[in-house]
């Protein structure tokens, strides 16, 4: 059986590595690691097929370090401890600290990540993690604080073009064929910035025909329609389907939302990714029209973390339907955006009014800090009219209640009752 093209072309040095010039280019951090002969624990965060595993192997080879690999999909605490014990023995015979590469480290739960901490702290291993998910959400804080995080980007068309040319010019099997690339738009579009996918597509195309081959957009589309699944959680379909899912919930169509949810789950989408999107959606698109939506979305996020699939599908479905059928308002989203836009372009250093400042020293009291402040709870209805904005911003309004739903209609009425025409 032929070795896949992506494996045959796996780079062996930084000079052969395509893309990620911000990390591996001249003066890049990984070149400095190799030149210095030392490397800290780090996490590579980026989409699939951009060279995370390859980069880890290149570092290990260049530094001549023992290299252990684990996949978070198939490994647990037992396997981690076995590797750490083996690393201890290696360390006994060699001064060089072994590297432990964990693919998809975001799939490790807390106890599995905890099992790595001691070995990383004591220098028994140097940890290299690879993840497609934001490490801030998926890696425990004590472990994250001991690792540098480096972001890898999707391959650009020029990178894919370079990779394609290299494959055709250097791969021994492809060189035996008379292969001409007449059009590459479909190749790059289906690859979606994923180098491994581009090479896999090239493998599929070349194995579908014998003899001389001319690659065109129509040929690529024809062949791939017979070979690529309806949902690819790492490719273009990923972004299309999650976009359709979010827009269906925002558009109050529970049936379409459930359909797209089913497509994602059936395609193997990470349920925690969906749960995070629901939390964001509850704040951005429902907001004050139904504050309970955020509570349910947060509960969904916690539940999905605790129970996983297949049971998590029920919680995701319940939350999806609830959010889709909730009244919608983006007033809080618009308010913070408007305020941030104002603050970022505002060149005035507007002083906080004296009566709102906290007089923590005698000198501050003498300067009038806190003087004239009215404590709202001392007044009827726990409200008393006073100015909270800097003097030059009196009357400025960032929050505009969406009166098309009952909840914010009541908010608008209360604000008018309290403030009159000030914030109408």
- Burial, 300: exposed, middle or buried (Cβ in 10 Å; 0-12, 13-18, 19+)? buried
The answer on pLDDT for 390 being more than 90 is no
Query: What pLDDT does 134 receive?
Result: 84
Of 42-51, 288-297, 361-370, which gets the smallest average pLDDT?
361-370
Kindly state the average pLDDT of the residues 154-168.
90
**The CATH number fitting domain 236-325, selected from 1.10.10.60, 1.10.357.10, 1.20.272.10, 3.40.50.620:** 1.20.272.10
Tokens at residue 269, please? 């989408």
Of 227-241, 326-340, 354-368, which gets the smallest average pLDDT?
227-241
The answer on pLDDT for 279 being more than 90 is yes
Cα 97 to Cα 76: distance, rounded to the nearest angstrom: 22
Handedness of CA 218, 219, 224, 225 (dihedral sign): positive
Class (C level, CATH) for 20-151: alpha beta
The answer on pLDDT for 241 being more than 90 is no
The most confident of the ranges 119-123, 230-234, 283-287, 357-361 is 283-287
Kindly state the average pLDDT of the residues 375-398.
86
Query: What pLDDT does 87 receive?
Result: 82
> Is the pTM value of this prediction over 0.85?
no
- Residue the block writes with tokens 């009244």: 327
- Burial, 377: exposed, middle or buried (Cβ in 10 Å; 0-12, 13-18, 19+)? exposed
Cα 44 to Cα 352: distance, rounded to the nearest angstrom: 43
Query: What pLDDT does 44 receive?
Result: 93
Query: What pLDDT does 2 receive?
Result: 66
Handedness of CA 198, 203, 207, 211 (dihedral sign): positive
Q: Which of 14, 11, 17, 19 is nearest to 156 (CA)?
A: 19
What's the pLDDT band for 249 if we cut at 50, 70, 90? very high
Range(s) of the chain covered by CATH 3.40.50.300: 20-151
User: 163 near 194, Cβ under 8 Å?
Assistant: no
More confident residue, 163 or 74: 163
Cα 58 to Cα 46: distance, rounded to the nearest angstrom: 17
Query: What pLDDT does 231 receive?
Result: 43
Query: What pLDDT does 1 receive?
Result: 47
The answer on pLDDT for 95 being more than 70 is no
Distance of CA 169 to the CA centre of its chain: 35
Tokens at residue 274, please? 């969906």
Class (C level, CATH) for 157-224: mainly alpha
Helix 217-224, helix 195-207: angle, nearest 10: 90
Three-class SS string for the chain? CCCCHHHHCCCCCHHHCCCCHHHHCCCCHHHHHHHHCCCCCEEEECCCCCCHHHHHHHHHHHHCCCEEEEECCCCCHHHHHHHHHHHHHHHHHCCCCCEEEEECHHHCCHHHHHHHHHHHHCCCCEEEEEECCCHHHHCCHHHHCCCEEEECCCCCHHHHHHHHHHHHHHCHHHHCCCEEECCCHHHHHHHCCCHHHHHHHHHHHHHCCCCCEEECHHHHHHHHCCCCCCCCCCCHHHHHHHHHHHHHHHCCCHHHHHHHHHHHHHCCCCHHHHHHHHHHHHHHHHHHHCCHHHHHHHHHHHHHHHHCCCCHHHHHHHHHHHHHHCCCCCHHHHHHHHHHHHHHHCCCCCCCCHHHCCCCCHHHHHCCCCCCCCCHHHCHHHCCCCCCCCHHHCCCCCCCCCCCCHHHHHHHHHHHHHHCCCCC
Cα 96 to Cα 99: distance, rounded to the nearest angstrom: 9
Q: Please provide residue 179's backbone torsions phi and psi, each rounded to the nearest 5 degrees.
A: -105, 125
**CA geometry: angle 117, 122, 128, nearest 5 deg:** 55
**For residue range 403-415, what is the model confidence (pLDDT) as tens digits?**
888 888 888 888 8
What mean pLDDT value characterizes the chain?
86
Q: Which of 407, 237, 271, 223 is nearest to 329 (CA)?
A: 407
Kindly state the average pLDDT of the residues 110-139.
87
More confident residue, 297 or 132: 297
Query: What pLDDT does 299 receive?
Result: 96
Kindly state the average pLDDT of the residues 37-65.
89
The answer on pLDDT for 351 being more than 80 is yes
Cα 155 to Cα 202: distance, rounded to the nearest angstrom: 16
Query: What pLDDT does 316 receive?
Result: 96
Range(s) of the chain covered by CATH 1.20.272.10: 236-325
Q: Residues for the chain: how many in total?
A: 424
**For residue range 5-15, what is the model confidence (pLDDT) as tens digits?**
888 889 898 88
Of 93-102, 130-139, 149-158, 297-306, which gets the smallest average pLDDT?
93-102
The answer on pLDDT for 168 being more than 80 is yes
Query: What pLDDT does 94 receive?
Result: 53
Q: Which CATH architecture has domain 344-419?
A: Orthogonal Bundle (1.10)
Range(s) of the chain covered by CATH 1.10.8.60: 157-224
Kindly state the average pLDDT of the residues 199-212.
86
Q: What value does the CA radius of gyration of the chain take, rounded to a whole number of Å?
A: 28
Cα 419 to Cα 417: distance, rounded to the nearest angstrom: 6
């Amino acid at each position: 059986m032929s070795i896949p093209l992506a494996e045959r072309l796996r780079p062996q040095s930084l000079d052969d590595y395509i893309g990620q010039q911000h990390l591996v280019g001249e003066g890049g951090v990984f070149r400095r690691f190799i030149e210095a002969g030392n490397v800290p624990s780090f996490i590579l965060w980026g989409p699939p097929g951009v060279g995370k595993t390859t980069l880890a192997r290149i570092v290990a080879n260049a530094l001549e370090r023992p290299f252990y690999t684990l996949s978070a999909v198939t490994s647990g605490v037992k396997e981690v401890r076995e590797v750490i014990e083996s690393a201890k023995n290696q360390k006994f015979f060699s001064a060089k600290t072994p590297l432990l590469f964990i693919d998809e480290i975001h799939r490790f739960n807390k106890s599995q990540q905890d099992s790595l901490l001691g070995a990383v702290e004591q220098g028994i291993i140097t940890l290299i993690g690879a993840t497609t998910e934001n490490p801030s959400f998926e890696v425990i804080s004590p472990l994250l604080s001991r690792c540098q995080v480096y972001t890898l980007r999707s391959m650009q068309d020029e990178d894919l073009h370079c990779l394609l040319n290299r494959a055709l010019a250097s791969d021994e099997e492809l060189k035996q064929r008379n292969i001409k690339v007449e059009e590459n738009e479909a190749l790059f579009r289906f690859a979606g910035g994923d180098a491994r996918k581009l090479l896999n597509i090239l493998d599929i195309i070349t194995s579908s025909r014998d003899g001389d081959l001319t690659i065109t957009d129509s040929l690529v589309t024809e062949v791939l329609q017979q070979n690529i699944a309806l949902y690819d959680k790492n490719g273009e379909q990923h972004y299309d389907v999650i976009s359709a899912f979010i827009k269906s919930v925002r558009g109050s169509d529970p049936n379409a939302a459930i359909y797209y949810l089913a497509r994602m789950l059936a395609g193997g989408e990470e349920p925690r990714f969906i749960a995070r999107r629901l939390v964001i959606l509850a704040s951005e698109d429902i907001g004050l029209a139904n504050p309970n939506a955020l509570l349910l979305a947060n509960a969904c996020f916690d539940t999905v973390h605790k129970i996983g699939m297949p049971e998590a599908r029920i919680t995701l479905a319940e939350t999806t339907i609830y959010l889709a059928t909730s009244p919608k308002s983006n007033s809080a989203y618009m308010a913070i955006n408007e305020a941030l836009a104002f603050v970022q372009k505002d060149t005035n250093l507007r002083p906080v009014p004296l009566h709102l400042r906290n007089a923590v020293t005698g000198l501050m009291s003498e300067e009038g800090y806190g003087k004239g402040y009215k404590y709202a709870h001392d007044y009827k209805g726990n409200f008393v009219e006073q100015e909270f904005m800097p003097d030059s911003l009196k009357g400025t309004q960032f929050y505009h209640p969406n009166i098309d739903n009952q909840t914010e209609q009541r908010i608008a009425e209360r604000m008018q009752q309290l403030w009159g025409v000030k914030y109408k």
